Amino acid sequence: MSSSFARAGRVLLLAGLLVSLGTPSRVHAEVPLVWSRAQDGTFSVLTASPGDASHLYQIFEILQRARRELSDRWQLELPMGIAVLIHPDLASYTASTAAPWYVAGVADRAEEQIDIQRIRILIERNTLEKTLRHELFHLAQPDDWPRWRAEGSAMRFAGEIPSAAPYLQLTEAELEAMLAAPSSRDQLARANATAYWWVVRERVP
Ligand SMILES: [Zn+2]
């Protein structure tokens, strides 16, 4: 999905909603984070806790498999040097992305960077691989795609099937506006669902 949560005015693209995330954790930003970087030549994965770093093998496996599939099946190439930030808490994620707590991840195409939420929660919800694949798709998508095509295609690539009801009578301009600036979590979920089904049905509005 695409949205306009501002980070220095850049356009950000958001991963699937954490529909069952629960209450946001208390904000506590007093202690500065120390980030560790692991690299494989294409991806740099930054973690800020030993617990998160213990998932590095799994994360690189997901990233490299997704990169191969994007190239082989979609003929889409990722840039080199993508940074993937695994945030240890909500305060860090929010400070970096300005995204609301219920958004699982954010892709910044200008910076070639992905930010994702606390890995423990993503694993509990079985959305770690989906979130990483969704955001990688946004870094590889063609520049000239409308938001709805990018969002629906990112969801398909990630294997995300929306549970929200799509809007049945929207114009393309209306859907684009909703995806760019959703007024609520529910509207964003339904706009994403609409984009997904438009892509699946190859609808041209
Ligand atoms: Zn997205």
Q: How far is the CA of 39 from the centre of ligand 1 (A)?
A: 24
Mean pLDDT of 164-169: 95
Output the CA 148–ligand 1 centroid distance in Å. Answer: 9
Residue 159 domain-assigned (yes or no): no
Is 81 within a domain? yes
Ligand 1 centroid to residue 180 C-alpha, Å: 11
Average pLDDT (6-15) is 46
Q: Does some domain include residue 127?
A: yes
Ligand 1 centre distance from Cα of residue 31 (Å): 31
In a domain, 59, yes or no: yes
* Domain hosting residue 134, numbered range: 2-143
In a domain, 72, yes or no: yes
* Residue predicted with more confidence, 154 or 32: 154
Q: For 95-117, how does the pLDDT look when each residue is reduced to its tens digit (9 = 90+)?
A: 999 998 889 999 999 999 999 99
The CATH number linked to 124 is 3.40.30.160
* Number of domains comprising the chain: 1
Residue 47 lies in a domain: yes
| SS3 category, 77 | coil
Q: Residue 32 Cα, ligand 1 centroid: separation in angstroms?
A: 29
Residue 154 C-alpha to ligand 1 middle, in angstroms?
6
Contacts of 31 (CB under 8 A, 6+ apart): none
Q: What is the arithmetic mean of pLDDT over 21-47? A: 76
The string of pLDDT tens digits covering residues 48-67 is 999 999 999 999 999 999 99
Specify the pTM.
Answer: 0.85
Residue 33 lies in a domain: yes
CB 81 within 8 A of CB 111: no
Distance CA 94, CA 87 (A): 9
Query: What is the pLDDT at residue 28?
Result: 53
Question: Is residue 199 one of the residues assigned to a domain?
Answer: no
Residue 199 alpha carbon to ligand 1 centre in Å: 13
Q: H-helix or E-strand containing 107?
A: strand 105-108
Q: How far, in Å, from the CA of 107 to the mean position of ligand 1?
A: 8
Mean pLDDT score, 128-155: 96
